[in-house]
Amino acid sequence: MTVKKFNLPDVGEGLTEAEIVSWKVKPGDTVAINDVICEIETAKSLVELPSPYAGTVAELLVAEGITVEVGTAIIGISDNAPGETASTSALAAPLAEQPAAPSAAVPAPTAAPAAEQVFEASMYGKLPADAGTSDAGTSDGGPAGGPLVGSGPKADAVKRRPRKRPEGATAVPAAAANTAPAAVERVAVEPAVEPTAPANQTPGLAGLGATVSGIVNRVLAKPPVRKIARDLGIDLADVVPTGARGEVTREDLVSYQSQRDAEVDQADKFWGASKKPQDQRVERIPVKGVRKATAKAMVESAFTAPHVSIFVDVDASRTMEFVKRLKASRDFEGIKVSPLLILSKAVIWAAARNPSVNATWVDNADGNGNAEILVKHYMNLGIAAATPRGLMVPNIKDAQDLSLKELALALNELASTARAGRTQPSQMQGGSLTITNIGALGIDTGTPIINPGEVAIVAFGTIKQKPWVLDGEVIPRWITTLGGSFDHRVVDGDLSARFMADVASILEEPALLLD
């Protein structure tokens, strides 16, 4: 009997460490290739690790809650020889002391080299051509030959049914996070700047809590579910939908209410007893995972890129009318539509007219202290999303190629995936420009911090009816405020103003998108 040790892999393209959150197996358990053995937390997301071997779990080498470096052995899996197996109690002891116990049970299959290659392919997103595909956001555990369990995110607490795509809907094209060099324009920067550490290309997490839920939208739910939500005082927009067409189900309400009750119970017990000294009423929270990555990225961005912010008030009344028409359209039946969709299209349109906002500043690009500006001829549109684990910024790859309907589907999928905690590391890499929707929280505007590796971020404020002067008359209109932060090394005042003006012009008149 031989024992194979599985080392912690790099599941995030450049990550150096991860925390073992929970083990899904224990010594003595039999595992097959691609069975989930544990859940880890990286600097970006929760990831389930699949087993690269088939056999029996011999030992767990790292305890839960421990952070280890990539390459550290975390589990030992034994290949039992024919005719022998090991008891759970024996496997829990040191392997050197375990006697082989005969058993009539069928031995666990030995991992073949070909199977290990399949594991490696699924682990790093390189499935063979005949492996099959599945729609984003579903987990149907397909038949043999389908996608294997890879470095996917944490599953929902509620079982998700496969989401049906509306008739006539076009699948959102999946694009690799890495873009071909031909799609990036390199602009040399002279004179040479003082050499500093290369900019971190890992997308950071934008400041200011924001969600990607739309400001004015109708959540899908059946009448009985809506009645239950009203009786419980639950805002359906706050509930993660798991229905087949993206609707909120009765089970979703039960899950949300349970979580809310737990939070209320904790609130009643928050304040410590005044009899205790104050230094004994301080809770210490280790900074790790997403919060650690957020802090590092934001400090680096704030003190590396010189920020400049500008604001503009926008009459978004025609955008609100357009959104209302889209909701009533048969082409958008079953698809959540919000003003965020129009803003996203506006940002993509405006970036094409002002390319330098869709760029990256690279220090010491040639090794001689000379910097470069990389102008990206593609748009990986980042959307800041508030999740139970902190703020994340997944992005929509090649968003410039998507139709309005495809972009709406992509935004909905991004939102539900992020709020359910299923965002994969690859979805947060390679961003080029970010939107943070602080209006969903009732905030008018703000000064967001730019994600490292980007030079611009747009804050979308709430849309309210306000008095507005139109043709010399004061009338109520739907008004919002846009805030933009820019890296002044790349985007000067004139360029940032023209970009924000272009975005505002689309919100004021969405018909410009048809030009």
Comparing CA positions, the residue from 442, 395, 388 lying closest to residue 414 is 395
**How far is Cα 464 from Cα 280, in angstroms, rounded to an integer?**
45
What are the DSSP calls for 87-120, one per residue?
-HHHHHS-GGG---EE-SSPPPPPPPHHHHHHHH
Rg (CA), the chain: 26
Helix, strand, or coil here: 390?
strand
183 neighbors 376 (Cβ within 8 angstroms):
yes
Q: Where are the alpha helices (DSSP H) in 194-249?
A: 223-232
Candidate list 389, 488, 489, 498, residue with the active-site label: 488
**How far is Cα 134 from Cα 147, in angstroms, rounded to an integer?**
8
**How far is Cα 281 from Cα 270, in angstroms, rounded to an integer?**
10
**How far is Cα 148 from Cα 154, in angstroms, rounded to an integer?**
15
Helix, strand, or coil here: 5?
strand
- HEC-encoded secondary structure of 10-77: CCCCCCCEEEEEEECCCCCCEECCCCEEEEEECCCCEEEEECCCCEEEEEECCCCCCEEECCCEEEEE
Instruction: Say if strands 456-460 and 433-436 run parallel, antiparallel, or are unpaired.
Output: parallel
Q: Is 488 a catalytic residue?
A: yes
478 neighbors 465 (Cβ within 8 angstroms):
yes
Instruction: Say if strands 381-387 and 433-436 run parallel, antiparallel, or are unpaired.
Output: parallel
Question: Which sequence positions are flagged as catalytic?
Answer: 488
